[in-house]
């Protein structure tokens, strides 16, 4: 099943991001930017999707630049950097390469304040390089 601007109808020019089996489409994050846009866009995740279709049409022609970040839990972030043309629509296969891991070490400054409580510590990766890749200010 495809997810497009209008279900079942593809725009005249587009990039299709194909998901492999086993990647839950409702958990996929796709952030993209087209030539000369300031903010770009993001795809709304949907269940049961095999391809996310993103329009690359501005006016009657395809844009000259398409960049995207594609992520799914447990997978490494995949970058897409294309120069679409008026002649072809492009399919990009998302490859779920296992996300790398990093060891984080540290200590609580005052562990006695935790008492007998169970504590859960979470660390989040912030892809600070993504803003530069997408060309956002």
Q: What is the mean pLDDT of each run of 10 residues along the chain (137 residues)?
A: 54 92 95 86 94 88 90 94 83 93 80 80 83 81
Sorted by where each starts, the structural domains of the chain and their CATH numbers stand as 2-134 (2.60.40.1120)
pLDDT of residue 67: 94
Q: Look-up: residue for tokens 């020019």?
A: 13
The Cα 79–Cα 94 span in angstroms is 9
User: For residue 16, how many C-alpha atoms fall within 13 Å in the half-sphere facing its CB?
Assistant: 19
The Cα 58–Cα 22 span in angstroms is 34
pLDDT of residue 101: 83
pLDDT of residue 6: 41
30 strand-pairing partners? 70
Burial of residue 98, with CB atoms counted within 10 A of its CB: 0-12 exposed, 13-18 middle, 19 or more buried: exposed
CA 42 to chain centre: 8
b/e code 102-130 from CB counts within 10 Å (16+ = b): eeeeeeeeeeeeeeeeeeeeeeeeeeeee
């Amino acid at each position: 099943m495809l997810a497009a601007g209008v279900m079942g109808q593809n725009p005249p020019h587009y990039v299709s991001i194909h998901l492999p089996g086993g990647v839950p489409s409702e958990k996929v994050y796709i952030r993209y930017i087209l030539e000369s846009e300031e903010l770009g866009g993001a795809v709304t995740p949907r269940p049961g999707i095999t391809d996310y279709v993103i329009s690359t049409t501005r006016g009657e022609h395809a844009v000259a630049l398409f960049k995207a970040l594609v992520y799914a839990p447990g997978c490494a972030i995949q970058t897409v950097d294309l120069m679409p043309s008026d002649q072809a629509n492009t399919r990009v296969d998302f490859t779920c390469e296992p996300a790398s891991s990093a060891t984080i070490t540290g200590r609580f400054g005052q562990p006695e304040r935790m008492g007998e409580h169970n504590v859960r510590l979470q660390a989040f990766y912030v892809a600070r390089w993504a803003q530069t890749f997408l060309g956002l200010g």
